[in-house]
């Protein structure tokens, strides 16, 4: 198949532009604040150490799953802000289920992952049903459901928690050895004993499924059509209400996967120290990656890279590592603008190109008439 | 009234508008090339041309929306450089757009003064000025009426008044008759003649040639972005004008001998649809379309045509009545089921309902037929087959495009419409719903689409045709039904009906007379 380099170039132009804008603006912020600009960039642009590479990949794995969950909604013009709540309540359910060890080894892991997907899906379903039956904006309902999820999980965690001697951390039952997903060693690639989450393979599989369903199936076509033009989709026979509910459920199920690499590859339990905000980070990653399966992978890695290298900011440059949040924020803001600019440019270019090629085809014919 | 004026040489007086050598390029296309236009003061000057010929670009240049790359504009003999509509208004040029820009919940006065508050304030002075303009030009506009209560003709006169209020001496009207019924057109033309009598200049853009011939003093023809002729309407026929426009002979819709059979394809029994208020949007509609029959629905827009179409295709559920396709009931079925059962749909608004503008042509060929061969294999999209099918349709239906991979939005309106018509036809529907199938397409595409619909009828398709173009309705239909306020109010034989009869039925004037 022929690759359209012009399209590809335009596609890459926007995120690159956004990153450049972010770097320039951050530099200005640093200058205004009187912080050492050079030192900051030296820290952030260092080649990551082997153990950092592992950490970047691990963080990207989780962010990628989150981005896919968000992107399923985005593709339909649905703003599932609730990925954050969905993954936490789903992870909790999975941790409780897996911690009970009803099933042996791998079976326990697989069923627990399914439990997590189901929980996330049900939590998202609430917002979907509210939208199609009562016309409640999914933005509002999912924000509210995030709060409910936070406190519901905190409340249930107290009931489900297991006391650990000598620690006041609250968490679910720690998983047995055989219910853990072993990491993948990359010592052949880089000199580190740290391991990449085994479930990085799950993220790759999900990315492939996401691409396959959207690009190759009838369902994916209906979903994309609805996102591009709801009115045209309705006229083509898409049942938009059913589509909204289905895509919310799929988005929630994908959100259920976000916590799985952490649960089975790092924490082995769900506790009050679990990382929050991954759902929102996923939105940024999806926006930068343009809901594209590979684009989101690249932007998840970029996010992971920035997060990891920012750890050295305080020591290396005397600047708070929160600076990275500013950079990420500016990237997202500028990428939204840049995509719109590129979209219009692309439209204009293509219209011009079509007109030009048609004029060239028509030119000989015109001459005949003139003669 | 202007015959005497017309005959006199006007070379002493400067021209109201003179364009010389205007060229405007867009990336990859030349929209206007070496345009020259001379508009005499105090005349109605028509600019005719196909859609896409460059009329709208020319008007945007004249109204200061776009600057020409080359060429000069002179107003009343003085060269000007119009950089914005504000400057155009200052130079005395006003534009009446095809789509009205009025706030429904404002009064006429409020709409007129909006954005021009500095001229006469917003109170009694403005009201008096509006009355004065209205009286001077016979516009019959009442400043304190609420716009929401007014009809299309009234709204258009308000738009004209808005422009005059801002001091325009040269008025540009973009396809002003597109939204009017015949009686309203007559009235508009009398308004235009009044404006002319008062010394104003009117530039009138249209592609309805008989109208142009009846009202214009001079005609300039545009083809492929350039002015090809300036003609005197008294010395040219509609046919000659049309040939100047398209550069070749053109067909008109003429039905051949009847192909109507007695096989009922689509039947509506007592279909009603409730509206927001008390009035029903559709009120007890009964109609039957047979195989090989084209049933035309005439009506002023907004009388239930769109709702009728959406009910048949399944986008709305009727509150009462039945819809039957070949004898089996499809009332309340989903759009997909109805399409699969063999109903093709050419929507009124191709951008909203017919296409995914940012998707490639071949994906647009799948749209509406997501479950039908050759587009799918089980639950999967068969891109290869769909692309091959698209290539075929593009060739067979003469969709002018360099490739099937370009987005639908980059094609011209006529080619977009041909793609939609080709898509629907290629699935061999039992019933075709064609809502305004040639709206906004050029004459060439229009003739092609007419031919396709006629060919489908010969092959025994049943067609429900909705159109605002009476010529199209009369030329294509076997039967014409008029819809008024949600009710079918009359049935006509297109071979004998006159425009006036149809117009009267469309406005309800025939009932008031009885």
Looking at the structure, do residues B279 and B398 belong to the same domain, yes or no?
Answer: yes
User: With contact defined as beta carbons under 8 Å apart, do B156 and B140 qualify?
Assistant: no
Put simply, the answer to whether A354 touches B345 (Cβ < 8 Å) is no
Residue B149 lies in a domain: no
For residue B242, what are the CA distances in angstroms to B53, B55, B166, B473? 13, 15, 35, 19
What residues have CB less than 8 Å from B504, skipping those under 6 apart? B183, B510, B513
Residue B499 lies in a domain: yes
What dihedral angle (degrees, nearest 10) is formed by the CA atoms of A352, A353, A356, A359?
-110
Q: Nearest by CB to A217, which of B248, B336, B380?
A: B380
Q: What residues of chain A lie within 8 A of the CB of B400, using their CB? A: 358, 361
Put simply, the answer to whether A228 touches B358 (Cβ < 8 Å) is yes
Q: What residues of chain A lie within 8 A of the CB of B405, using their CB? A: 4
d(CA B196, CA B209): 20
> What is the full DSSP assignment across B349-368?
-IIIII--TTSBHHHHHHTT
Q: What is the pLDDT of residues A114-159, one digit of tens each?
A: 999 999 999 999 999 999 999 999 999 999 999 999 999 999 988 8
Put simply, the answer to whether B380 touches A216 (Cβ < 8 Å) is yes
Question: Residue B258 — φ and ψ, nearest 5°?
Answer: -65, 140
Put simply, the answer to whether B406 touches A222 (Cβ < 8 Å) is no
CB contact A228 to B (< 8 Å): yes
d(CA B249, CA B493): 28
Looking at the structure, do residues B59 and B5 belong to the same domain, yes or no?
Answer: yes
pLDDT of residue A295: 93
Q: How far is A130 from chain B (nearest CA, A)?
A: 22
Maximum average pLDDT range among A41-45, A209-213, B18-22, B453-457 = A209-213
Q: What residues of chain A lie within 8 A of the CB of B411, using their CB? A: 354
Q: How many helices (H) and strands (E) does chain B have?
A: 19, 22
Which residues constitute the domain of residue A159?
Answer: 75-273
For residue B335, what are the CA distances in angstroms to A239, B341, B452? 8, 10, 24
| Count of structural domains, chain A | 1
Comparing alpha-carbon positions, the chain A residue that sits nearest to B371 is A218
Q: What residues of chain A lie within 8 A of the CB of B371, using their CB? A: 218, 237
What dihedral angle (degrees, nearest 10) is formed by the CA atoms of B425, B429, B431, B436?
-20
DSSP single-letter state for residue A179: G
End residue of a domain, out of B212, B246, B280 = B246
Residue A295 lies in a domain: no
Looking at the structure, do residues B226 and B325 belong to the same domain, yes or no?
Answer: no
Which helix H or strand E contains B495, and what residues bound it?
Answer: none
Looking at the structure, do residues B472 and B376 belong to the same domain, yes or no?
Answer: yes
The interface residues of chain B toward chain A in range 197-236, judged by CB-CB distance below 8 A, are 224
Put simply, the answer to whether A229 touches B409 (Cβ < 8 Å) is no
Q: Nearest by CB to A349, which of B27, B371, B405?
A: B27
For residue B269, what are the CA distances in angstroms to B121, B124, B305, B322, B453? 56, 54, 16, 5, 25
d(CA A229, CA B349): 13
Q: What is the mean pLDDT of residues A311-315?
A: 86
pLDDT of residue A272: 78
Put simply, the answer to whether B380 touches A228 (Cβ < 8 Å) is no
Task: Give the CATH number for residue B215.
Answer: 3.40.50.300
Average pLDDT for chain A: 88
Q: How far is B131 from chain A (nearest CA, A)?
A: 43
User: With contact defined as beta carbons under 8 Å apart, do A349 and B27 qualify?
Assistant: yes
d(CA B332, CA B211): 43
Question: Smallest Cα–Cα separation from B285: which of B307, B260, B313, B302?
Answer: B307
User: With contact defined as beta carbons under 8 Å apart, do B45 and B160 qualify?
Assistant: no
Looking at the structure, do residues B497 and B354 belong to the same domain, yes or no?
Answer: yes
A165 Rama sector, left if φ>0, alpha if ψ -120 to 50, beta otherwise:
beta
Whether A365 shows a pLDDT value over 60: the answer reads no
Q: What residues of chain B lie within 8 A of the CB of A234, using their CB? A: 315, 335, 353
Residue A261 lies in a domain: yes
Q: Nearest by CB to B368, which of A218, A237, A353?
A: A237
CB contact A211 to B (< 8 Å): no
Question: Smallest Cα–Cα separation from B158: which of B108, B204, B99?
Answer: B108
Q: pLDDT 10s per residue in chain B (514 long)?
A: 333 333 344 456 788 899 988 888 765 456 788 888 999 999 999 998 766 677 878 888 888 888 888 889 998 888 888 888 888 888 899 888 877 888 888 999 999 998 888 888 888 889 999 999 888 888 888 888 888 888 778 888 898 898 889 888 999 998 888 777 777 888 889 888 988 888 899 998 887 777 888 889 999 988 777 888 888 888 888 777 777 776 654 445 565 677 788 889 999 999 999 876 667 889 899 999 999 999 999 887 778 888 999 999 999 999 999 999 998 899 888 899 999 999 999 998 888 899 998 899 999 999 999 888 888 888 999 989 999 999 999 998 888 888 888 888 888 778 889 999 999 999 999 999 999 898 767 777 888 899 889 988 888 899 999 987 777 888 899 999 999 888 888 888 888 887 778 877 877 766 544 4
Higher pLDDT, B208 or A72: A72
Q: Is B513 exposed, middle or buried (0-12, 13-18, 19+ CB in 10 A)?
A: exposed
d(CA B410, CA A232): 17
CB contact A77 to B (< 8 Å): no
pLDDT of residue B385: 92
pLDDT of residue A366: 43
Q: How far is A122 from chain B (nearest CA, A)?
A: 25
User: With contact defined as beta carbons under 8 Å apart, do B15 and B21 qualify?
Assistant: no
d(CA B337, CA B314): 9
Q: Where is average pLDDT lowest: A55-59, A316-320, B176-180, B361-365?
A: B176-180
CB contact A354 to B (< 8 Å): yes
Looking at the structure, do residues B228 and B268 belong to the same domain, yes or no?
Answer: no
d(CA B342, CA B74): 57
Looking at the structure, do residues B487 and B369 belong to the same domain, yes or no?
Answer: yes
Local confidence band at A93 (pLDDT 50, 70, 90 cut-offs): very high
Q: What residues of chain B lie within 8 A of the CB of A359, using their CB? A: 29
Local confidence band at A1 (pLDDT 50, 70, 90 cut-offs): very low
Residue A116 lies in a domain: yes
Q: What residues of chain B lie within 8 A of the CB of A357, using their CB? A: 402
Which helix H or strand E contains B278, and what residues bound it?
Answer: none
d(CA B199, CA B332): 58
> What is the full DSSP assignment across B372-437?
STTTEETTEE-HHHHHHHHHHHHHHTT---S-TTSBGGGS-HHHHHHHHHHHHHHT--SEEEEEST
Whether A332 shows a pLDDT value over 70: the answer reads yes
Q: Chains A, B: CB contacts under 8 A, how many?
A: 118
Residue A136 lies in a domain: yes
Put simply, the answer to whether B367 touches A225 (Cβ < 8 Å) is yes
Looking at the structure, do residues B429 and B359 belong to the same domain, yes or no?
Answer: yes
Residue B123 lies in a domain: no
CB contact B364 to A (< 8 Å): no
Q: What is the CA radius of gyration of chain B?
A: 24
Looking at the structure, do residues B277 and B238 belong to the same domain, yes or no?
Answer: no
CB contact A33 to B (< 8 Å): no
What dihedral angle (degrees, nearest 10) is formed by the CA atoms of A11, A17, A22, A27?
160
Q: Give the mutation candidate from B27, B385, B434 for the A interface (greatest A CB count, under 10 A).
A: B27
d(CA B138, CA B244): 35
What residues have CB less than 8 Å from B328, skipping those under 6 apart? B341
Residue B102 lies in a domain: no
d(CA A71, CA A90): 18
Question: Smallest Cα–Cα separation from B449: which of B253, B314, B177, B161?
Answer: B253
For residue A100, what are the CA distances in angstroms to A108, A274, B161? 9, 19, 79
| Residue that is written with structure tokens 């500028």 in the block | A334
The interface residues of chain B toward chain A in range 9-28, judged by CB-CB distance below 8 A, are 26-28
Which residues constitute the domain of residue B472?
Answer: 264-513
Bridging pattern class, strands B294-298 and B462-466? parallel
Put simply, the answer to whether B334 touches A236 (Cβ < 8 Å) is no
What dihedral angle (degrees, nearest 10) is formed by the CA atoms of B9, B15, B21, B23?
-140
What's the pTM?
A: 0.76
Q: What residues of chain B lie within 8 A of the CB of A217, using their CB? A: 379-381
Comparing alpha-carbon positions, the chain B residue that sits nearest to A343 is B358
Looking at the structure, do residues B233 and B356 belong to the same domain, yes or no?
Answer: no
pLDDT of residue B343: 94
Residue B165 lies in a domain: no
Looking at the structure, do residues B232 and B317 belong to the same domain, yes or no?
Answer: no
Comparing alpha-carbon positions, the chain B residue that sits nearest to A357 is B402
| Count of structural domains, chain B | 2
Looking at the structure, do residues B242 and B269 belong to the same domain, yes or no?
Answer: no
pLDDT of residue A369: 37
Residue B272 lies in a domain: yes
pLDDT of residue B7: 38
Residue A58 lies in a domain: no
d(CA A41, CA A74): 33
Q: What residues of chain B lie within 8 A of the CB of A353, using their CB? A: 28, 402, 406, 410
Q: How far is B418 from chain A (nearest CA, A)?
A: 16
CB contact B367 to A (< 8 Å): yes
Residue A150 lies in a domain: yes
Put simply, the answer to whether B381 touches A217 (Cβ < 8 Å) is yes
Residue A165 lies in a domain: yes
Residue A36 lies in a domain: no
pLDDT of residue B278: 62
pLDDT of residue A220: 95
Q: How far is B335 from chain A (nearest CA, A)?
A: 4
């Amino acid at each position: 198949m022929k690759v359209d380099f012009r399209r590809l170039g335009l596609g890459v132009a926007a995120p690159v532009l956004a990153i450049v804008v972010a770097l320039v603006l951050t530099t200005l912020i640093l200058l205004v604040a009187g912080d050492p600009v050079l030192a900051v960039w030296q820290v952030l642009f260092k080649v990551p150490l082997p153990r950092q590479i592992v950490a970047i990949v691990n963080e990207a794995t989780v962010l990628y799953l989150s981005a896919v969950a968000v992107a399923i909604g985005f593709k339909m013009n649905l703003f599932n802000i609730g990925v954050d709540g969905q993954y936490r309540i789903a992870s909790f359910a999975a941790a409780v289920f897996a911690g009970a060890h009803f099933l042996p080894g791998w079976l326990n892991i697989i069923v627990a992952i399914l439990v997590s997907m189901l929980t996330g899906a049900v939590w998202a379903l609430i917002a979907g049903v509210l939208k199609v039956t009562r016309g409640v904006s999914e933005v509002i309902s999912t924000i509210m459901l995030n709060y409910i999820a936070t406190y519901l999980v905190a409340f249930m965690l107290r009931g489900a928690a297991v006391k650990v001697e000598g620690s006041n951390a609250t968490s679910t039952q720690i998983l047995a050895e055989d219910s853990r997903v072993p990491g993948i060693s990359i010592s052949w690639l880089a000199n580190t004993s740290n391991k990449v989450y085994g479930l990085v393979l799950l993220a790759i599989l999900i990315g492939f499924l996401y691409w396959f369903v959207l690009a190759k199936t009838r369902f994916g076509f209906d979903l994309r059509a609805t996102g591009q033009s709801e009115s045209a989709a309705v006229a083509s026979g898409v049942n938009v209400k059913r589509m909204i509910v289905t895509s919310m459920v799929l988005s929630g199920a994908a959100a259920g996967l976000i916590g799985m690499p952490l649960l089975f590859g790092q924490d082995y339990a769900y506790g009050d120290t679990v990382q929050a905000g991954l759902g929102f980070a996923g939105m940024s990653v999806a926006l930068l990656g343009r809901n594209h399966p590979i684009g989101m992978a690249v932007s998840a890695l970029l996010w992971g890279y920035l997060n990891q290298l920012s750890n050295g900011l305080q020591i290396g440059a005397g600047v708070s590592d929160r600076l990275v949040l500013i950079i990420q924020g500016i990237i997202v803001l500028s990428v939204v603008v840049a995509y719109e600019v590129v979209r219009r440019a692309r439209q204009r270019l293509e219209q011009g190109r079509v007109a030009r090629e048609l004029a060239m085809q028509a030119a000989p014919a015109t001459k005949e008439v003139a003669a | 009234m202007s015959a005497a004026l017309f005959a006199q040489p006007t070379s002493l007086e400067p021209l109201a508008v003179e364009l010389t050598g205007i060229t405007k390029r867009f990336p990859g296309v030349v929209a206007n090339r070496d345009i020259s236009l001379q508009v005499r003061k105090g005349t109605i000057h028509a600019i005719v041309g196909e859609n896409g010929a460059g009329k709208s670009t020319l008007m945007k240049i004249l109204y200061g929306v776009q600057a020409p790359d080359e060429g000069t504009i002179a107003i009343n003999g003085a060269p000007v450089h119009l950089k914005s509509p504000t400057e155009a208004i200052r130079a005395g040029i006003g534009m009446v757009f095809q789509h009205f820009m009025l706030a429904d919940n404002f009064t006429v006065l409020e709409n007129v003064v909006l954005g021009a508050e500095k001229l006469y304030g917003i109170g009694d002075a403005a009201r008096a000025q509006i009355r004065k303009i209205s009286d001077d030009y016979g516009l019959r506009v009442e400043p304190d009426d609420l716009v929401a209560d007014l009809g299309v003709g009234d709204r258009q006169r308000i738009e004209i008044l808005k422009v005059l209020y801002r001091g325009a001496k040269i008025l540009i009207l973009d396809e002003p008759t597109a939204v009017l019924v015949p009686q309203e057109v007559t009235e508009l033309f009398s308004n235009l003649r009044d404006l002319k009598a008062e010394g104003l200049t009117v530039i009138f853009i249209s592609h309805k040639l008989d109208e142009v011939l009846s009202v214009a003093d001079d005609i300039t023809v545009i083809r492929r972005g350039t002015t090809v002729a300036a003609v005197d309407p008294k010395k040219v026929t509609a046919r000659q004008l049309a040939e100047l426009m398209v550069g070749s002979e053109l067909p008109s819709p003429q039905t051949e001998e009847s192909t109507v059979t007695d096989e009922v394809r689509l039947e509506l029994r007592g279909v009603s649809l409730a509206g927001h208020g008390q009035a029903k949007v559709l009120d007890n509609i009964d109609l039957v379309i047979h195989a090989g029959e084209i049933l035309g629905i005439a009506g002023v827009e907004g009388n239930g045509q769109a709702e009728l179409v959406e009910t048949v295709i399944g986008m709305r559920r009727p509150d009462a009545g039945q819809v039957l396709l070949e004898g089996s009931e499809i009332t309340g079925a989903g759009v997909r089921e109805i399409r699969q059962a063999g109903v093709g749909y050419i929507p009124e608004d191709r951008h909203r309902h017919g296409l995914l503008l940012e998707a490639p042509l071949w994906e647009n060929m799948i749209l509406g037929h997501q479950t039908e061969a050759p587009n799918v294999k089980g639950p999967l999209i068969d891109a290869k087959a769909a692309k091959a099918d698209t290539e075929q349709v593009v060739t067979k239906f003469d969709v002018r495009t360099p490739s099937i991979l370009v987005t639908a939005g980059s094609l011209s309106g006529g080619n977009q419409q041909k793609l939609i018509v080709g898509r629907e036809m290629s699935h061999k529907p039992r019933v075709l719903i064609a809502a305004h199938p040639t709206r906004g397409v050029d004459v060439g595409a229009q003739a092609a689409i007419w031919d396709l619909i006629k060919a489908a009828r010969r092959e025994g398709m049943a067609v429900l045709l909705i159109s605002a173009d009476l010529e199209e309705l009369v030329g294509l239909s076997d039967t014409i039904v008029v819809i008024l306020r949600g009710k079918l109010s009359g049935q006509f034989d297109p071979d004998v009906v006159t425009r006036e009869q149809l117009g009267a039925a469309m406005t309800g004037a025939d009932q008031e007379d009885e």
